[in-house]
């Protein structure tokens, strides 16, 4: 598979149906290509991911993508939990049931907010940086050089990032859930008069294994989406520096949409 | 060794190669000259299948690279070392790691052998001092030389040079020319050198091809080239002050 693409130009569509039809075809083509990229990256995992050099690179990517996002995930998750607790707390107070903020925060963090939040944060930071890096490498002929040296960019560049983010996104999501619950607890204690012990007891009361693993699965899928979309868009860069900007932007927008849509379907599949 | 058979290619609806045919014999050296945008880099990219022809075929030592896919393509590409116009060094690796990359990734060489090969190649291009620098810390000319060291790392049979001397001072440029000549003579590699610089072309080419607007307008030996009647060639020669073909031959 040739990763980089020749620039294409098509005549301007003449009417709305033509324009719409073209959009649909390009969308289908883009999805097909991205899935093929995913398939070829997965195929390289087993023979290649366990060499010393690959393991080191995966570790490096886990650090860049995961550890370096800890700060922003901490802040966002804390405040998400605090907002959730405050909003639900205000409503529940009317019924004198403030203590239930614990399970409200825990459930929404585990099921939706944790994976979603880490997905969005990573798509906007790690995904954007991957797309920009790949795009720049296309423009400066580095991808071409790798291909000519028969060093597969899929194995050398995509696979380590894919493995790293498939591991780190669920972990970050779980960490985000804990931070969210902590934030909720702080609000409960200071604003709503819910004692810490009661809060924790209430929040763990209804949690099932399913809430944890479906959330983790979601984050896992999001991690894969982020890397594949970013690499796919990056490799498709044409047109120099402007092209790199476009690819980065498209990568962020597309992974946001893909995260939302796939998140809905995973929820639908497991909870309905 | 390299054979273009009636290759045509359009990019963005514009014909950038128009019915190009030529051959480079094993051990020979073809210098491709021509104005900017003429299609020199595009020609070079066809040799390593970074672009596929719309019409026609490209053969490398009898294998049709323009049709090859997958492992077949890898096998043919292995015969090449390529110096890209933009050097194409990986930014996050040092010079030495860049040169070592093809050896580490593709061969089963021991680490000592790799290091000694890398040192030898860096010495060849005069970059031993800068081995620990990253590409962003190098000047344009140094990047070129690092790219050259990487292209030569695996003892290729065919080396493609896209503007090896542009952006270099005249002294370094001539030393790169000498390097191209010695690798060709000592290692018997076939080379293709794309350049704007006629002095360079005349000293490294066993034949010279002039590309103009996607077509080869002249292809002959250096001594015939300086005497060519072709208008475009004449313009090119004059622009680089090679007006006296006799004087050039005496210099040789
Ligand atoms: N990726 C591309 N997309 C669109 N057009 C291209 C692309 N690459 C090359 N072209 C077009 O093909 C023509 C030949 O380009 P090429 O890069 O071969 O020129 P060149 O002879 O190498 O010039 P230079 O000496 O400036 O490097 C140019 O007109 C250029 O516009
Ligand atoms: Mg060029």
Q: What is the pLDDT of residues B71-97, one digit of tens each?
A: 899 999 999 999 998 889 999 999 999
Q: Tell me how far the alpha carbon of residue A247 lies from the centroid of ligand 1, in angstroms.
A: 22
User: How far is the C-alpha of B203 from the C-alpha of B29, rounded, in Å?
Assistant: 10
How would residue B243 be classed by pLDDT, with cut points 50, 70 and 90?
A: low
Of all atoms in ligand 1, which is nearest to the CA of residue A238? 1
* Chain A residues with beta carbon closer than 8 angstroms to that of B51: 6
* Chain B residues with beta carbon closer than 8 angstroms to that of A9: 12-13
* pLDDT surpasses 70 at B251: no
* Chain B residues with beta carbon closer than 8 angstroms to that of A149: 77, 101-102, 105-106
Domain segments of chain A as ranges: 16-271
* pLDDT surpasses 70 at A244: yes
- Are A141 and B85 an interchain contact pair (Cβ–Cβ within 8 Å)? yes
- Are B74 and A4 an interchain contact pair (Cβ–Cβ within 8 Å)? no
Average pLDDT over residues A193-210: 91
Report pLDDT for B238: 84
* Chain A residues with beta carbon closer than 8 angstroms to that of B105: 149, 151, 156
Q: Which of B9, B80, B88, B162 to mutate to test the interface with A (most CBs of A within 10 A)?
A: B88
How would residue A4 be classed by pLDDT, with cut points 50, 70 and 90?
A: confident
Q: Determine the distance in angstroms separating the CA of A172 from the nearest CA of chain B, rounded to an integer.
A: 26
Q: Which of A142, A143, A150 to mutate to test the interface with B (most CBs of B within 10 A)?
A: A150
Choose the residue to mutate in B7, B11, B197 for probing ligand 1, maximizing ligand atoms within 8 Å of C-beta: B11
DSSP, residue by residue, B155-210 = --SEEEEESSSTTS-HHHHHHHHHHHHHHHHHH--EEEEEES-HHHHHHH-SEEEE
User: How far is the C-alpha of B41 from the C-alpha of B39, rounded, in Å?
Assistant: 6
Ranking B105-114, B122-131, B239-248 by mean pLDDT, the lowest is B239-248
CB neighbour class for B101 (10 Å; exposed up to 12, middle 13-18, buried from 19): buried
Q: Determine the distance in angstroms separating the CA of B2 from the nearest CA of chain A, rounded to an integer.
A: 16
Percentage of chain A with pLDDT > 90?
Answer: 84
How would residue B186 be classed by pLDDT, with cut points 50, 70 and 90?
A: confident
Closest ligand (CA of B36): 1
Residue B40 structure tokens: 């020199």
Q: Whole-model pTM? A: 0.91
User: For all residues of chain B together, what is the average pLDDT?
Assistant: 90
Put simply, whether A14 touches B (Cβ < 8 Å) is: no
Average pLDDT over residues A249-263: 96
Closest ligand (CA of B50): 1
Average pLDDT over residues B38-53: 93
Average pLDDT over residues A150-159: 94
User: How far is the C-alpha of B1 from the C-alpha of B47, rounded, in Å?
Assistant: 11
Report pLDDT for B247: 53
Report pLDDT for B173: 87
> What residues does B33 pair with on adjacent strands?
B195, B210
* pLDDT surpasses 90 at A239: no
Given the cut 0.85, state whether the ipTM is greater than it.
Answer: yes
How would residue B107 be classed by pLDDT, with cut points 50, 70 and 90?
A: confident
Percentage of chain A with pLDDT > 70?
Answer: 99
Residue A163 structure tokens: 């493995």
User: How far is the C-alpha of B84 from the C-alpha of A187, rounded, in Å?
Assistant: 59
Q: Which long-range contacts (CB under 8 A, 24 or more apart) does A241-247 make?
A: A241/A139, A243/A135, A243/A139, A244/A132, A244/A135, A244/A136, A244/A139, A247/A131, A247/A132, A247/A134, A247/A135
How would residue A11 be classed by pLDDT, with cut points 50, 70 and 90?
A: confident
Residue A39 structure tokens: 């398939």
pLDDT top residue among B202 and A239: B202
Percentage of chain B with pLDDT > 70?
Answer: 96
Q: Which residues of B touch A (CB under 8 A)?
A: 11-13, 45, 48, 50-51, 74, 77-78, 80, 82, 84-86, 88-91, 101-102, 104-106
Is the shortest distance between the CB of B191 and ligand 1 below 6 Å?
no
- Are A150 and B12 an interchain contact pair (Cβ–Cβ within 8 Å)? no
**First-residue to last-residue Cα distance in chain A:** 40
- Are B105 and A151 an interchain contact pair (Cβ–Cβ within 8 Å)? yes
Helical H segments across A128-208, by residue range? 128-139, 142-148, 153, 159-187, 196-205
* pLDDT surpasses 90 at A61: yes
* Phi then psi dihedrals of residue B13, to 5 deg: 75, 5
Q: What is the DSSP letter of B127?
A: -
Query: Closest Cα to atom 7, ligand 1: which residue?
Result: B11
Put simply, whether A6 touches B (Cβ < 8 Å) is: yes
């Amino acid at each position: 598979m040739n990763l980089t693409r020749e620039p294409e130009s098509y005549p301007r569509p003449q009417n709305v149906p033509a324009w719409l039809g073209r959009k649909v075809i390009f969308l289908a083509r883009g999805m097909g290509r991205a899935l093929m990229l995913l398939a070829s990256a997965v195929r390289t995992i087993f023979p290649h991911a366990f060499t010393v050099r690959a393991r080191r690179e995966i570790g490096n990517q886990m650090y860049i993508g995961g550890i370096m996002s800890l700060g922003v995930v901490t802040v966002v998750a804390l405040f998400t939990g605090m907002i959730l607790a405050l909003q639900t707390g205000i409503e529940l107070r009317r019924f004198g049931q403030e203590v239930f903020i614990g399970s409200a925060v825990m459930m929404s963090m585990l099921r939706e907010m944790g994976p979603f939040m880490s997905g969005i944060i990573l798509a906007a930071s790690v995904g954007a940086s991957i797309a920009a890096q790949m795009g720049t490498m296309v423009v400066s002929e580095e991808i071409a050089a790798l291909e000519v040296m028969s060093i597969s960019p899929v194995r050398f560049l995509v696979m380590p990032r894919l493995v790293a983010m498939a591991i780190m996104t669920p972990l970050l999501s779980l960490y985000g859930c804990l931070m969210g619950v902590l934030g909720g607890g702080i609000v409960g204690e200071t604003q709503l008069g819910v004692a810490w012990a009661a809060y924790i007891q209430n929040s763990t009361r209804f949690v099932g294994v399913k809430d944890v693993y479906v959330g983790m699965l979601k984050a896992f899928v999001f991690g894969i989406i982020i890397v594949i979309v970013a690499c796919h868009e990056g490799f498709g860069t044409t047109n120099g520096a402007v092209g790199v900007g476009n690819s980065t932007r498209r990568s962020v927008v597309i992974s946001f949409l893909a995260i939302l849509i796939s998140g809905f379907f995973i929820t639908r599949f497991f909870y309905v | 060794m390299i054979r273009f058979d009636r290759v045509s290619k359009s990019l963005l609806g514009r014909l950038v190669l128009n019915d190009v045919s030529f051959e480079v014999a094993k051990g020979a050296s073809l210098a491709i000259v021509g104005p900017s945008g003429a299609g020199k880099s595009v020609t070079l990219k066809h040799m390593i299948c970074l672009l596929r022809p719309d019409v026609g075929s490209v053969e490398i030592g009898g294998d049709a690279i323009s049709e090859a896919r997958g492992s077949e393509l890898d096998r043919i590409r292995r015969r090449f070392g390529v110096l890209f116009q933009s050097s194409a060094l990986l930014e996050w690796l040092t010079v030495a790691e860049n040169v070592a990359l093809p050896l580490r990734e593709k061969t089963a060489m021991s680490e000592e052998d790799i290091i000694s090969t890398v040192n030898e190649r860096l010495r060849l291009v005069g970059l031993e001092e800068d081995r620990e620098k990253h590409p962003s810390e190098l000047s344009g000319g140094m990047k070129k030389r690092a790219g050259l060291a990487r292209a030569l790392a695996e003892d290729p049979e065919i080396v493609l040079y896209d503007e090896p001397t542009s952006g270099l001072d005249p002294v370094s440029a001539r030393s790169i020319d000498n390097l191209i000549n010695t690798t060709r003579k000592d290692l018997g590699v076939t080379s293709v050198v794309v350049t704007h610089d006629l002095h360079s072309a005349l000293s490294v080419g066993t034949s010279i091809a002039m590309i103009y607007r996607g077509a080869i307008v002249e292809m002959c030996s250096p001594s015939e080239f300086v005497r060519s009647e072709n208008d475009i060639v004449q313009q090119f020669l004059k622009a680089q002050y090679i007006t006296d073909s006799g004087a050039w031959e005496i210099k040789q």
